[in-house]
Amino acid sequence: MKYLPIPVLTSTCIARLWNRIQCQSDTECWLWTGAKSKQGYGRFKLKGQLFSVTRLVYFLSYGKDPAPKHVCHTCDVPGCCNPKHLWLGTAGENNNDSVQKGRYERKSTARRGIRHPQQKYNEQVKQQLQKLAMTMTVKRAAEILGVNVWSAYQIVRCGHTYKCGLEQLVSSSGS
Ligand SMILES: [Zn+2]
For the chain, what is the mean pLDDT? Answer: 75
| Delimiting residues of CATH 3.90.75 domain(s) in the chain | 11-110
Interval between CA 45 and ligand 1 midpoint (Å): 22
Interval between CA 42 and ligand 1 midpoint (Å): 13
Interval between CA 49 and ligand 1 midpoint (Å): 25
pLDDT above 90: residue 33: yes
CA terminus-to-terminus distance, the chain: 32
**pLDDT at residue 167, rounded to an integer:** 39
**pLDDT at residue 27, rounded to an integer:** 83
If one counts every other C-beta atom within 10 angstroms of the C-beta of residue 94, the result is 18
pTM: 0.58
- Is residue 169 within 8 Å of 6, Cβ to Cβ? no
Interval between CA 61 and ligand 1 midpoint (Å): 15
The burial of 131, by beta-carbon neighbours within 10 Å (0-12 exposed, 13-18 middle, 19 or more buried), is given as exposed
**What mean pLDDT comes out for the span 2-21?**
88
pLDDT above 70: residue 161: no
CATH class of 11-110: alpha beta
Which phi and psi angles does 88 have, rounded to 5°? -95, 130
**What mean pLDDT comes out for the span 93-98?**
67
Bigger pLDDT: 96 vs 152? 152
- Is residue 114 within 8 Å of 163, Cβ to Cβ? no
